[in-house]
Amino acid sequence: MYEVLDETAAQVILAIESGDSIRRVSQHLHTPYETVRQAVNRLEEAGYISYDDGLIIVDSRVRDAARELIAASASVSPPSIEEAYVLPQFGDWPFTFTRIDAVYVWTQGGYQVGRNPNDYPLFLAVREQDVDAWEAFFDSFDLPTAFERQPRDELNGPLQIVLEPRPSLEIEHIEGYPVIPRTEAIEYMRENYAQFQSALAMLDRMYDDLDLGVTYRETERVQT
């Protein structure tokens, strides 16, 4: 039966929250619906999960096995940038994308200026009480964590996780990503206006209820 638990199936197990639909899991994983559906069918047939008005993990030990499989895979083949955005959803604690990653999420991937794939931090807000757990979680995937961005020459790979501890989290969801509220993201962009002027103008076009009064032309781009 263990052959059922390939990497895709393991990701599905880790992404499931009790009562989720297949479509919601596919959104969390940013994986095609049909791929997730086929994995769910295999897992249900093997008895790992059940589907009754939503997906349910039959035995919590299956999640542990799935996490070990994904961690072992990461030790052989380090996560890509795209995979790193999904990885935190395999943890057992709440988080939100913040700072430049909140801009990325709220613009639905439209703003990605100034990100160097060879030096790529992900910014996550987490609860203060969960910091140690998150550090251990990312360490299992050989991803370094810190509270401030670390210089690239001090790291073994391009990815790093910058944790921002908070007493509590206010979470919104955009296309499967947990993210800080839009008002907070806009405040961050205004504080760094030169870098995010184009992103503010993009948000103004995307959301009818905004009136940010920001205009932007390509020739005004500020390189960072």
Q: What is the DSSP string of 77-109?
A: SPPPHHHHHHGGGGSSS-EEE-THHHHHHHTTT
Instruction: Clarify whether residues 69 and 94 are in a common domain.
Output: no
Instruction: Clarify whether residues 60 and 151 are in a common domain.
Output: no
Counting the structural domains of the chain, the total is: 2
Residue 220 DSSP class = G
With cut-offs at 50, 70 and 90, classify the pLDDT of residue 219. Answer: very low
What percent of the chain has pLDDT above 90? 51
End-of-domain residue from the set 48, 76, 104: 76
CATH number of the domain where residue 33 is located: 1.10.10.10
Instruction: Clarify whether residues 66 and 95 are in a common domain.
Output: no
Instruction: Clarify whether residues 92 and 192 are in a common domain.
Output: yes
CATH number of the domain where residue 129 is located: 3.30.460
pTM, rounded to two decimals: 0.84
Instruction: Clarify whether residues 103 and 54 are in a common domain.
Output: no
Q: What is the pLDDT of residues 10-22, one digit of tens each?
A: 999 999 988 999 9
Nearest to 124 by CA among 158, 156, 93: 93
Instruction: Clarify whether residues 87 and 49 are in a common domain.
Output: no
Number of CB atoms found within 10 A of residue 137's CB: 21
Q: What is the pLDDT of residues 206-215, one digit of tens each?
A: 888 887 766 6
* Containing structural domain, residue 180: 81-220
Instruction: Clarify whether residues 154 and 126 are in a common domain.
Output: yes
Instruction: Clarify whether residues 54 and 153 are in a common domain.
Output: no
End-of-domain residue from the set 50, 76, 102: 76
Instruction: Clarify whether residues 63 and 86 are in a common domain.
Output: no
With cut-offs at 50, 70 and 90, classify the pLDDT of residue 101. Answer: very high
pLDDT at 224: 36
End-of-domain residue from the set 76, 110, 127: 76
- Cα gap 65→81, rounded to integer Å: 24
Instruction: Clarify whether residues 45 and 105 are in a common domain.
Output: no
